[in-house]
Amino acid sequence: MDPEPIPDALEPLMRQLEEALSLEHKFRPFLEIPRLPRERQDVTIGIRDGSAHVLRCLKIWYDLPPDVFFVATNLMDRFLTKLKVKAKHMACVSISSFQLACRLVCGGSAPELQHILAVSQAKCTVADLVRMQEVVSTKLGAEPSSPLPITPYTFLALYHAFLSAIDRENVYSRIVNEFELWQLLEVVLCDAMCSNYRPCEIALAILCSAIDTGVARLKPSPPPASSIISLVSFLGQIQQKANISEKSFLSCHSTVLSVIGRYNAEIQVQHRQRLVWKVSQRTLKQLRPTGKLVTTLQTIEENGQLQIAPRSRNSSSSSNSDENWTGPTSSRHLPTDAF
């Protein structure tokens, strides 16, 4: 079956896609970080992913546009590619990348560094962050005036725009929800395994996965086969246009699927942030009511007589202390992490 020709109305989108493809290589990270630390201060995959999760949470916290997270992780990963970063500086690197991304995307309405620092509980100062931002923007050429980096989001947004534009029978819009697309991409980019693939590949893999799930969701009343076929053929055209080899795409697709699989299985995230639980003095003083109890009287068995331990000559009149109430420990043990 011949592929449908791309209508003229899509010309501007086409040009954007071509431009993105040509600039893609400039913004690609190439992470070579170990799973286990070889030296004490090595940044591991766990530390990188943990930082990505924090940035994701911050993006949700501040209700920022989807760009912010993708630009932030892009800056962070490219920085890690260029320079050897120590684990203890990871928080500083990620937070400064994040606020830099905010400024690039939102301009003046970006949240302040002090605020982000306070919320994220990162162990560095505002001065550290300001200095780090200088370093990051210099090393990566990311000035406020320069264009946004090309990230998988750039491509995913374009693919989505394409498919929405040619969706005459409202099939695509029933299958794919754009917020879910961005969420999937966020989840995938929180995993370092996917960082080194071409952004256009990752975006395509996510789109395929989303369409698969979407079609499966419509099982009781599936869309007509012809619409699905034309969707798939359009994806094939994109793959051709972007020059994505079958072999490379299969590898990327399977990696992306495994990450999405773990997400769908609702497994706990591996890299948990070491959180600080600060409460006021007043609350700390009265956490548990029985914390105030010092001694308790000797237990009296229901069916037996009380046997009192012989007391010393000059002991006071207070009750014999037999059991002390001790509550369980309340602090959480968290894995070591830069945060």
Partner 1 sequence: MSATFVDRIDPFAKRSLKKKKKSQGSSRYRNNADVELQSLPLLSDVSSSEQEELFIRKLRQCCIAFDFMDPMADIKGKETKRATLNELVEYVSTGRGVLTEPVYPEILKMISANLFRTLPPSENPDFDPEEDDPTLEASWPHLTLVYEIFLRFLESSDFQPSIGKKVIDQKFVLQLLELFDSEDPRERDFLKTVLHRIYGKFLGLRAFIRKQINNIFLRFVYETEHFNGVGELLEILGSIINGFALPLKAEHKQFLVKVLIPLHKVKCLSLYHAQLAYCVVQFLEKDATLTEPVVRGLLKYWPKTCSQKEVMFLGEIEEILDVIEPSQFVKVQEVLFRQIAKCVSSPHFQVAERALYFWNNEYIMSLMEENNHVIMPIMFPALYRISKEHWNQTIIALVYNVLKTFMEMNSKLFDELTSSYKADRQKEKKREKERDELWKKLMDIENTCKKREMFKK
Encoded one letter per residue, x for contact with partner 1 by CB under 8 A and - for no contact, window 41-80 reads ------------xx-xx--xx-------------------
Looking at 6, 13, 14, 119, which residue binds partner 1 (CB under 8 A)?
119
**Per-position DSSP letters for 152-208, written without gaps between them:** HHHHHHHHHHHHHHT-TTS-HHHH--HHHHHHHHHHHHTSGGGTTS-HHHHHHHHHH
Least distance from partner 1 to the Cβ atom of residue 68, Å:
15
| Contacts of 98 by beta carbon, 8 Å cutoff, 6+ apart | 55, 58, 59, 68, 72, 116
Please report whether residue 213 would count as binding partner 1 according to CB under 8 A.
Answer: no
Would you say 183 or 196 has its CB closer to partner 1? 183
Pick out residues in 89-118 that bind partner 1 (CB under 8 A): 118
**Could you say whether residue 36 binds partner 1 (CB under 8 A)?**
no
CB 79, CB 136: distance < 8 Å: yes
CB of 312 to partner 1, least distance (A): 10
Instruction: Give least dist CB 139 to partner 1, A.
Output: 29
By the rule CB under 8 A, 280 interacts with partner 1 = yes
Cβ–Cβ contacts within 10 Å for residue 227, how many?
18
CB 175 within 8 A of CB 160: no
Restricted to residues 309-338, the positions that interact with partner 1 (CB under 8 A) are 310-311, 313, 317-319, 323, 325, 327-333
CA angle 101, 17, 173 (to 5 degrees): 85
Q: At 290, phi and psi to the nearest 5?
A: -75, -5
Give yes or no for a contact between 156 and 119, defined as CB atoms under 8 angstroms apart: no
Taking the complex as a whole, how short is the minimal distance between the CB of residue 238 and partner 1, in angstroms?
26
Stretch that binds partner 1, among 122-130, 142-150, 161-169, 277-285 (CB under 8 A): 277-285
The whole-angstrom distance between residue 81's C-alpha and the CA centroid of its chain comes to 19
Rule CB under 8 A: say whether 285 interacts with partner 1.
Answer: no
Which residue of 95, 110, 187, 200 would you call a contact of partner 1, by CB under 8 A? 187
The pair of structure tokens assigned to 225 is: 């086969």
Contact between 152 and 198 under an 8 Å Cβ cutoff? The reply is no
Task: Choose between 216 and 229: whose C-beta lies nearer to partner 1.
Answer: 216
Question: What one-character DSSP code corresponds to residue 32?
Answer: -
Exactly one of 156, 273, 337, 338 binds partner 1 (CB under 8 A); that residue is 273
CB atoms within 10 A of CB 23: 13
Binding residues for partner 1, rule: CB under 8 A, are 53-54, 56-57, 60-61, 118-119, 121, 179-180, 183, 187, 263-264, 266, 268-269, 272-273, 275-280, 282-283, 286-293, 296-306, 308, 310-311, 313, 317-319, 323, 325, 327-333
